[in-house]
Amino acid sequence: MKSGTIKTAARAGHPPAESGSTATAPSLAALERDNARLRGDLRTIGRRLVHDLRNPLNCISTANEALRDPSAAPDSIAERLAQSVSGSVGEAMTLVERLSVVLIATANPKAAEKVEMTEIVADTLRRLDEPIMKAGATVLQPPEWPSLRGVPAWLNIIWDHLVLNALQHGGPAPRLELGWTLIDGEHRCWLRDSGPGVPEQKRARLFFPLEQLHELSAPRGYGLPIIQRLVQLQGGRCGYQPGTAPGAGFFFTLPAA
């Protein structure tokens, strides 16, 4: 009889004791505390990440330069290893600094201001003059750029990523074309290269959400997710647009000034 009573109660829909009506949703104060703690975590990681990693990376770079043999042939194993270490240190430092910017930007979003895109693009091309020359690239851009509303430091990072990505995937002696259009009250800035383009089956994962990069199945690159986060924080959007000719086209939008 006792077991039959239990079965009847279960069929009647009585909930277990631990899932009763006494459970309450988190209070607003608890949610605010959690939000403040998470934002503090982002600030701590963002600010300490660069500071705490810069010293060991600089030590590796200094030791690498001290151990290099100035008489070694450029194609020797020792010289190629030294160049590899130097390049890896530079890439790690750049990645750490940009991730730090994104973490701080997410925790403390900056107010948009009027930005002259002409100056932003010119600064980017000056800053990347060496890799552009080394790649033998041709860069085309319009005679004038619009005024937008955004954050200058974030726009510098966005253009840096787009240009470096085009230099890497644009093929030998790549041709980079930068431009903009005004569509429905927002400015659409874009970059097209002369490379083979991105296969259709990979395009959906190009702008993988930054907050999901911890997943085991996530892509390995950080550049485009960083661009997406910084563009979203400025009230815009970004994406991939294949051209009629071979090549990749990336764009981002921002409100007009």
- What is the arithmetic mean of pLDDT over 135-164? 94
Instruction: Identify which has the larger pLDDT, 15 or 59.
Output: 59
Q: What is the pLDDT, as a whole number, of residue 152?
A: 94
User: Whole-angstrom Cα distance, residue 35 to residue 186?
Assistant: 32
Q: What is the pLDDT, as a whole number, of residue 144?
A: 94
**CA distances (Å), 254 to each of 7, 144, 188, 243, in order?**
62, 17, 7, 21
CB 162 within 8 A of CB 191: yes
Amino acid 185 reads G
Assessment of whether the complete model's pTM goes beyond 0.95: no
Write out the CATH class of domain 113-255: alpha beta
Q: For 152-164, what is each residue's pLDDT tens digit?
A: 999 999 999 999 9
pLDDT above 50: residue 22: no
Q: For 81-121, what is each residue's pLDDT tens digit?
A: 998 998 899 888 888 888 888 888 888 888 889 999 999 99
> What are the helix (H) ranges across 111-194?
117-127, 129-135, 152-169
Side-chain-side CA neighbours of residue 98 (13 Å): 25
Q: For 159-210, what is each residue's pLDDT tens digit?
A: 999 999 999 988 899 999 999 999 888 899 999 999 888 888 888 888 888 7
Q: What is the pLDDT, as a whole number, of residue 24?
A: 63
Domain range summary for the chain, segments of one domain joined by +: 29-107, 113-255
User: Whole-angstrom Cα distance, residue 14 to residue 12?
Assistant: 6
User: Whole-angstrom Cα distance, residue 185 to residue 162?
Assistant: 23
